[in-house]
Amino acid sequence: MRFQLIGVNHKTAPVEVRERLAIPESRLPEACKKLAEHPGIDEAMILSTCNRVEILANTKNGAGADLRGFIQSYFQLDGTELNKHLYEYNEREAVRHLFRVAASLDSMVVGEPQILGQVKEAYATARAVGAVRAQLDQLVTRAFAVAKRVRTETAVGSSSVSIASVAVELAKKIFGNLHGKQVYLVGAGKMSELAARHLMAHGCASIFVANRTYDRAVSLAYKFQGQAIHFEDLHNTCDRADIVITSTGAPRAIFRPEHGELFLSRRKNRPMFFIDIAVPRDVDPAMNKLDGIFVYDIDDLQQAVASHVADRRKEAERAEAIVATEVERFHARIQTLDVVPTIVSLQDHLETIRQAEIDRVRGRLGPLSPDQEIAIEALTRGIVNKIMHTPISTLKTAAREAEATTVIDLVKRLFNLQEKRAAKSGGENS
Amino acid sequence: MSIFWLRVALALYGVGLLYALVALTRTSDLLNRIALHAAYLGMVFHLVSLTEGVVFTGHITFAMVHNSESLLAFLIMSVFMITYLIYKTTSPGIIVFPLVFLLTFMAATRQQPFLNLTPGMRKGWLGAHIALIFIGYAALVLSFCASLLYLIQQRSLKTKRPGILSRLPALEEIDQIGHRSLLLGFPFMTLGLIAGSVVAESVYGRVDLQDPKILLSLLMWAVYLVMVYTRWIAGWRGRKAAVLASVAFAAAVVAWAANYFSTIHRFVAS
């Protein structure tokens, strides 16, 4: 056992548990240091966000470490209550989990981009205090590469999943840059306010508010630092808006094609975007037929959201496949690293034998000419290399398969190798 | 030799074309980059070919006439690249790549025509005429591409099915690209036609309005004038503007082809 991961996330633990385990940024370096000094741990890092707290460790000599024990002692918590929330992964599963977290496949909102940054910060912190050095470094940097691959090769993070953000996305499809665009709120409501807020956040300039009750319009306009308009003036002022969000309780459509034509001619045909959240609808669907007017009602928006959610699910499947192949690839690489010390000590071992044998017979041979020296050297080297060839290539092939450890053990026993693995493992970055 | 480099350029444009078409149906930055780099490289060889043409003919005007399709393709490509640098979009490539490929293909496989030069012809004015008209053509071709893209994007927004074309730039950006290249192309076209009439005056003493090429060029120019005007006054865009642009484009293509049956513009020695 080498890599070990333990933690809680939004799926396994309620917020009351997560907040007790959360480690504030200021105390993270010290916690990392303490963790790295915990018995059995060689390297370690801690990821603490509002949705998860995870500890990832590379254990000494692959012996395994008591990570649960560390959590209990560090947080001074009772183990029995905590245990049911903790998940624990080893080796390949730990690698897989880390890759999934970094690629935002384990997030509450799958594909949200912040998590990668948080993993990067956690890595930087652990690295700064020396808790991440060799193999964990390779693992985590690989996780960044996997996350990048998932982001570029799948669309898992590309589409928005709320009505307000879909509205913003559509507005961007029409206007490109939203800077300086005017928004008109007709009627008030939670959803239309939210959409307006989203649009403002993306650069929309000023806002007009019209409502049947003028006072309501004034207070809403005050909230957005916009301009309140009397409802009777609605059709006369509406052409100033690029984006109109309607949500009145009117029984019949308040915007009809003849209004649309009026707006278009006053706007010199610059496009207009109507977001109709009202039911029954405030905008006559026939408006959508006018060149340059785009009408989206609540069903259209919801459909866009639904298709985005479905898209994400499909993309997430592709992302999982990428993660799976990357886990295998990483595992194979790590296992190749496993056999390197064995190969080195096998070579050392045979070289020692060779030297000893040459020294032993040298006395009996008497003085040798340089040519003879070269011949003996070449002869003995040739024999040793020939003998070593098969075991080494067998080790290298075995490294890529599951039986690696068995083969390593066998070779060690056959040649009686004393491996100095712990001392070497740090420097062997092939 | 210039034809050899032109064929190298053609092959590279072909690569660009292929990748651009594939990139249409799938999201891939890599494909986009391959297409762009092939196009860059193609332009370099294209420029080599054009320069060699100038060296070979010994005169810039003759070279321009000899390699007219090739020159036009190169200019369209240049306008496309400038658009890419400003707007960071390769979407016009959907139309630009096939068009450039076709023009280069024609230039690379065709017999070289001969210019029917009359003594006393004003070579400077002729050079200006060709250069201006061609820049005008290139800009107007892009404007036409943009108006088609505008229709596609408008349709996908109206039907509420974004589909594969959802990667097109925003509607207003497409509109801006089209409008700006129209505003850029129109004056060049106008000046080019004026230079042309100066040449015609110098040779024939008058502008022959019955010549099909001249007639078609004027028609095209008139349609562009209407486009600029309606845009200016009423902000016409979308469907109406696209119809006008198509008419102008059709006139431009026919005017271009009129080289083969016009009496004045006869490149091919009779």
Domain-terminating residue out of A271, A306, A341: A306
Cβ contact, residue pair B237, A292, below 8 Å: yes
The size of the A-B interface in CB pairs under 8 A is 48
Instruction: Say whether both A372 and A286 belong to one domain.
Output: no
| Same domain as A182, residue A56 | no
Q: Which residues of A touch B235 (CB under 8 A)?
A: 267-270
Are the beta carbons of B171 and A303 separated by less than 8 Å? no
Of B27, B158, B169, the CB nearest to A176: B169
Same domain? For A21 and A148 the reply is yes
Domain limit, last residue, from A111, A126, A153: A153
SS3 per-residue string spanning chain B:
CHHHHHHHHHHHHHHHHHHHHHHHHCCCHHHHHHHHHHHHHHHHHHHHHHHHHHHHHCCHHHHHHHCHHHHHHHHHHHHHHHHHHHHCCCCCHHHHHHHHHHHHHHHHHCCCCCCCCCCCCCHHHHHHHHHHHHHHHHHHHHHHHHHHHHHHHHHHHHCCCCHHHHHCCCHHHHHHHHHHHHHHHHHHHHHHHHHHHHHHHHHHCCCCCCCHHHHHHHHHHHHHHHHHHHHHHHCCCCHHHHHHHHHHHHHHHHHHHHHHCCCCCCCCCC
Domain that holds residue A261: 163-306
Q: For tokens 């996780």, what's the residue?
A: A143
Task: Give the CATH number of the domain where residue A223 resides.
Answer: 3.40.50.720
Residues of chain A contacting residue B154, judged by C-beta atoms under 8 Å apart: 291
Residues A85 and A127 in one domain: yes
In the chain, the amino acid numbered A413 is R
**Cβ–Cβ gap A271/B171 under 8 Å:** yes
Decide if A100 is inside a domain: yes
Tell me if chain A has a CB within 8 Å of the CB of B109.
no
Report d(CA B73, CA B68) in Å as an integer: 9
- The 10s digit of each residue's pLDDT in A119-137 is 999 999 999 998 888 888 8
Q: Do A116 and A239 fall within a single domain? A: no
Determine, for residues A172 and B172 on separate chains, whether the beta-carbon distance falls below 8 Å: no
B238 and A170 in contact by Cβ < 8 A? no
Residue A338 clears pLDDT 60, i.e. is over it: yes
Residues A136 and A182 in one domain: no
Specify whether A249 is located in the same domain as A172. Answer: yes
What is the domain count for chain A? 3
Comparing A301 with A274, the larger pLDDT belongs to A274
Would A326 be classed as within a structural domain?
no
Do A128 and A183 share a domain, yes or no?
no
- Global confidence as pTM: 0.61
Q: What is the pLDDT of residues A67-78, one digit of tens each?
A: 888 888 888 887
User: What local confidence, expressed as pLDDT, does residue B15 receive?
Assistant: 80
pLDDT string in tens for chain B (270-residue length): 567 788 888 888 888 777 766 655 555 667 777 778 888 888 888 888 888 877 777 776 666 666 777 888 888 888 888 888 887 777 777 778 878 887 887 777 665 444 555 555 666 777 788 788 888 888 888 888 888 888 888 888 888 876 545 667 788 888 888 888 888 888 988 998 888 888 777 777 766 677 777 788 888 888 888 888 888 887 888 778 888 888 888 888 887 777 666 555 544 333
- Catalytic: A50? yes
Q: Which of B157, B166, B239 sits opposite A294 (nearest CB)?
A: B157
Query: Would you say residue A315 lies in a domain?
Result: no
Provide the token pair at B210: 């019955």
Given A306, A321, A353, the domain boundary residue is A306
- Minimal Cβ distance to A155: which of B27, B29, B170: B27
Contact A248, A186 (CB under 8 A): yes
Strand partners, A275: A245, A296
Cis peptide before A280 (omega within 30 of 0): yes
Q: Check whether residue A149 and residue A167 sit in a common domain.
A: no
Residue B196 tokens read as 């042309």
Q: Which of A123-132, A222-231, A256-265, B147-156 has the lowest mean pLDDT?
A: B147-156
- Say whether residue B154 is in contact with chain A using an 8 A CB cutoff: yes
- Nearest-Å Rg of the Cα atoms of chain B is 19
**Measuring CA to CA, which residue among A190, A211, A205, A281 is closest to residue A242?**
A205
**Do A174 and B173 make contact, defined as CB atoms within 8 angstroms?**
no
CATH number of the domain within which A58 lies: 3.30.460.30
Is residue A93 one of the residues assigned to a domain?
A: yes
**Is A316 a member of any domain?**
no
Q: Based on the fold, state whether residues A26 and A117 are members of the same structural domain.
A: yes
Neighboring chain A residues of B240 at a CB cutoff of 8 Å: 291
Is residue A394 included in any domain, yes or no?
Answer: yes
Q: State the average pLDDT over residues A10-36.
A: 86
Domain identity same for A300 and A338: no
Q: Which of A176, A300, A304 sits opposite B173 (nearest CB)?
A: A176
Interface contact A173-B158, CB threshold 8 A: no
Which residues contact residue A134 at a Cβ distance below 8 angstroms, ignoring those fewer than 6 apart?
A: A43, A58, A425, A426, A429
Short-list B190, B203, B212, CA closest to B259: B212
pLDDT at A228: 92
**For residue B167, what pLDDT is reported?**
66
Interface test with A, best of B33, B155, B171, B244 (most A CBs within 10 A): B171
Q: What per-residue confidence (pLDDT) applies to A141? A: 92
Give the pLDDT of residue A407: 80
Q: Which residues of chain A have a CB within 8 Å of the CB of B239?
A: 291
Looking at residues A154-160, what average pLDDT do you find? 72
- Residues A190, A171, single domain; the answer is yes
Task: Give CA A171 to chain center in angstroms.
Answer: 28
B179 touches chain A (CB under 8 A): no
Q: How far apart are CA A204 and CA A119, in angstroms?
A: 33
